[in-house]
Amino acid sequence: MEHVDMKQENDRKITPLGFYFALLGLATLLFGMADILVWAGIRPGIEVGILEIAGDDFFRWAWGGFVMVCAGIFMLAGSARVETLQQSAKVVLGGVLVWVIAGTDIFARLCVAIPAGEASPAFLNSCSGFLTEFAPPYTPAMLLIPFTLGIVYLIRMHANDDS
């Protein structure tokens, strides 16, 4: 009986890694909900520092927001007992979803930066004009990219497991 009680106590213990991924999942969930609320017109666009949530594009803001909400849910669900392979897989899946949305945002910026503006006689943008397109503000998914790099640690941690 004591062995079972100790096992249950260890299952409930919050590790620093699990706490980190829980916070990351919560932030991702909230950013996804904000994307949807701004798209729906419930809240006007949000711009705080280098963060911008603004847009009426259904695919990016509504579906992208839904994907971010799902990513946050996966990360929150996997943050408990994150040392196990099954729970780590949930966190990795959430991180991959964030990377997909961030990748589409970066690709959109790249596509906007290549052609010159309508006022310019040139077809392609200048080097400085190209680089200015990548200046802030950024979408929430782009801001979350550096924080999801902790997932690489999870993958490396389980790469050495034999089980």
Q: What is the pLDDT of residues 8-48, one digit of tens each?
A: 545 556 789 999 999 999 999 999 999 999 999 888 888 99
- Calculate mean pLDDT across residues 91-117: 93
Beta carbons of 133 and 111 less than 8 angstroms apart: no
Residue 42 pLDDT = 86
- 55 or 114, which is more confident: 114
- 117 or 99, which is more confident: 99
- Calculate mean pLDDT across residues 107-133: 87
Task: Say what percent of the chain tops pLDDT 90.
Answer: 54
Cβ neighbours of residue 35 closer than 8 Å, sequence gap 6 or more: 53, 61, 62, 64, 65, 68, 140
How far is the C-alpha of 73 from the C-alpha of 104, rounded, in Å? 21
Q: Which of 67, 58, 55 is nearest to 29 (CA)?
A: 67
46: which DSSP letter? E
Q: What's the pTM?
A: 0.85
Confidence band (pLDDT; 50, 70, 90) for 73?
very high
